[in-house]
Amino acid sequence: MKSIILTIAGAGISLMVAAQQKQPVYLDVNKPIEERVESALSIMTTEEKVSLCYAQSKFSSKGVPRLGIPEVWTDDGPHGIREEVLWDEWGGANWTNDSCTAFPALTCLSATFNPELSLLYGKSIGEEARYRNKTVLLGPGINIYRTPLNGRNFEYMGEDPYLSSRMVVPYIQGVQSIGVAACVKHFALNNQEEWRGHINVDLSDRALYEIYLPAFKAAVQEGKAWSIMGAYNQFRKEHCCHNGLLLNEILKKDWGFDGVVVSDWGGVHNTDQAAKNGLDLEMGTYTNGLTTKGNFPYAEYYLANPFLKGIKEGKYDIALLNDKARRILRLIFRTTMSANRPFGRFVSPEHSEAARKIAQEGIVLLKNEQRFFPVLPGKFKKIAVIGENASRSLVIGGGSSSLKVAYESSPLDGLIAKYGKDHIVYSLGYASGPSVYGREEPSRLNADSLIAAAVKAARHAEVVFFVGGLNKNHFQDCEGGDRRSMSLPFGQDQLIDALLKVNKNIAVVLLSGNAVSMPWINKVPAIVQGWYLGSEAGNALADVISGEVNPSGKLPFSFPKKLEDNAAHAYGKISYPGDSVNQYYKEDILVGYRWFDTKKITPQYAFGYGLSYTSFDLGTLSADKSIYSKDEVIKVRFSVKNTGSQDGAEVTQLYVNDPVCTVSRPVKELKAFKKVFLEAGETKSVEMEIKVADLAFYDEGKKDWNIEAGDFVLQLGNSSANISQKLKITVKE
Ligand code: BGC
Element holding 1 (H helix, E strand): none
Those residues whose C-beta lies under 8 Å from the C-beta of residue 381, and which sit 6 or more positions away, are 423, 462
Task: Identify which of 137, 190, 194, 479 to mutate to test ligand 1's pocket (most ligand atoms within 8 A of the CB).
Answer: 479
User: Which amino acid is residue 302, in one-letter code?
Assistant: Y
274 in Cβ contact with 268 (< 8 Å): yes
Please state the rounded mean pLDDT for residues 152-170.
98
CATH superfamily to which 349-557 belongs: Glycoside hydrolase family 3 C-terminal domain (3.40.50.1700)
Decide: 103 and 355 in contact? Cβ < 8 Å. yes
Protein residues whose CB sits closer than 6 Å to any atom of ligand 1: 76-77, 138, 185, 264-265, 289-290, 400
Q: Is the dihedral of CA 419, 424, 430, 432 positive or negative?
A: positive
Whole-number pLDDT of residue 294: 64
Alpha carbon distance 606, 51 (integer Å):
50
Distance 193 CA to ligand 1 centre (A): 12
pLDDT at 361 over 60: yes
* Rounded Cα gap, residues 181 and 74, in angstroms: 9
The 8-class DSSP code of residue 391 comes to: T
Q: What is the DSSP string of 517-580?
A: --TTTTT-SEEEE----GGGHHHHHHHHHTTSS------SS-B-SSGGGSGGGTT-TTTTT-SS
- Pairing of β 463-469 and β 683-691: unpaired
* Residues in Cβ contact with 541 at an 8 Å cutoff, skipping those fewer than 6 apart: 359, 363, 411, 414, 415, 509, 528, 530, 533
Q: Please report the atom of ligand 1 found closest to the CA of residue 138.
A: 10
Atom 8 (ligand 1) nearest CA: 264
Tell me the average pLDDT across 342-367.
Answer: 98
- Binning pLDDT at 50, 70 and 90, where does residue 20 land? low
| The predicted structure's pLDDT at residue 439 | 83
Q: Where are the domains of the chain?
A: 37-334, 349-557, 616-731
> What value does the mean pLDDT take over residues 345-352?
98
Substitution candidate for ligand 1 out of 73, 233, 265 with most atoms within 8 A of CB: 265
Sign of CA pseudo-dihedral 605, 609, 613, 615: negative
Count how many residues are written for the chain.
733
Report helix, strand and coil shares of the chain as percent, to nearest 5: 30, 20, 50
CA–centroid distance for 181 within its chain: 16
Whether the Cβ atoms of residue 652 and residue 718 lie closer than 8 Å to each other: yes
106-126 b/e (C-beta count within 10 Å ≥ 16 → b): bbbbbbbbbbebbbbbbbbbb
Lowest mean pLDDT among 293-307, 421-435, 510-524: 293-307
In whole angstroms, what is the distance from residue 518 CA to residue 486 CA?
Answer: 9
Which residues are catalytic, by number?
A: 264
22, amino acid identity? K
Average pLDDT over residues 336-352: 97
Instruction: Kindly indicate the confidence band of residue 605, based on its pLDDT and cuts at 50, 70 and 90.
Output: very high
| Alpha carbons 368 and 610: distance in angstroms, whole number | 10
Rounded distance between C-alpha atoms, residue 588 and residue 609, angstroms: 24
Inter-residue contact 52 to 325 (CB < 8 Å): yes
| Torsion from C-alpha of 660, 662, 663, 664, nearest 10 degrees | 30
Question: Where is 594: in which H helix or E strand?
Answer: helix 593-598
CATH of domain 616-731: 2.60.40.10
For domain 37-334, give the fold: TIM Barrel (3.20.20)
Output the CA 186–ligand 1 centroid distance in Å: 9
> CA-based diameter of the chain, in Å?
105
Displacement of CA 551 from its chain's centroid (Å) = 21
CA of 356 to the centre of ligand 1 (A): 26
CA distance 46 to 29: 25
Percent with pLDDT over 90 in the chain: 93
Residue 161 DSSP one-character state: H
Q: Is the pLDDT of residue 18 over 80?
A: no
Amino acid at 380: F
> What is the 119 CA–ligand 1 centroid distance (Å)?
23
Mean pLDDT of all residues in 590-613: 98
Backbone angles phi, psi at 304, to 5 degrees: -100, -120
pLDDT of residue 229: 98
Structure confidence by residue, pLDDT tens digits, 80-139: 999 999 998 899 999 999 999 999 999 999 999 999 999 999 999 999 999 999 999 999
Determine if the peptide bond prior to 560 is cis (ω within 30°): no
Q: Which of 513, 486, 505 is nearest to 603 (CA)?
A: 486
